[in-house]
Amino acid sequence: MALPRTPSFRLDGKRALVAGASSGIGLACAAALGEAGAEVVLAARRLDALDALAEEMQAAGMHAEALPLDVGDVAATQAAVAEAGPFDVLVNSAGLARHSRSADTTTEDFDAVAGLNIKGAYFLTQAVAKGLLEAGKPGSLINISSQMAHVGGPERAVYCATKHAVEGFTKSMAIEWGRAGIRVNTVCPTFILTDLTRGTFEQPDKRAWIEEKIKLGRVGEVEDIMGAVVYLASEASALVTGTSLLIDGGWTAE
């Protein structure tokens, strides 16, 4: 009897674009893809941080290069992706949160969050897919969403709305591009400890609320995301598309 063999999690020979790679979850995703053998293009607005990360990854034997990119600027993003692509893998970790009570939401905050989390994510995903379609190549497109794409939360109406929207266009794009071998999915983390979220965790009442909701009893670390991204980027997830991978410690189980 011939035993089945596990599909490879390796990404050798694949080119991966990681948006929002200069810090936090995006940086961790870039390192994970590089460790799995991908040639990683690091994209964000802060070129100095990207250059430093690229040098560190190269010193560790990985393939990495920097690409200045503002996902909120759709025209510039489309041009940059068209010039630098095609990319076999996209991980979009660029995002924005401005929390307030719903009654206090300003149009400026709404437009800023929606402009990056929905519009920017939509057209970045589209740009990478166009490159794959033109090249006749399959690919894996991953948007870093949130557990808040599946639930609600206090002071997070705008953020939740944008992440619910990401789940919607992910499903539609997956349907449209599936026959071309282009898979589209999201990763939905719980609260992850990064420099950007440290202020929230330093507030005892908010940290207590978070730890009470996470059934595993601990906050997330960036390392908790890395394996999931490699899985979705690789052939190990060849039949996975149009869905979300929740990494929430059981937050949404109830």
CA dihedral 99, 104, 110, 111 (to 10 degrees): -130
State yes or no: cis peptide before 189, omega within 30 of 0: no
The helix (H) or strand (E) run that includes residue 66 is strand 63-68
Question: Would you call 155 exposed, middle or buried from its count of C-beta atoms within 10 A (0-12, 13-18, 19+)?
Answer: middle
Tell me which of 159, 177, 191, 251 is the catalytic residue: 159
The span from the CA of 170 to the CA of 3, in Å, is: 35
The span from the CA of 164 to the CA of 152, in Å, is: 10
Structure tokens at 168: 């919607």
The span from the CA of 144 to the CA of 166, in Å, is: 9
Structure tokens at 149: 């794409």
User: Could you confirm whether 231 is annotated as catalytic?
Assistant: no
Q: Which of 132, 107, 118, 116 is nearest to 17 (CA)?
A: 132
The span from the CA of 13 to the CA of 180, in Å, is: 20
Catalytic residue numbers, as ranges = 159
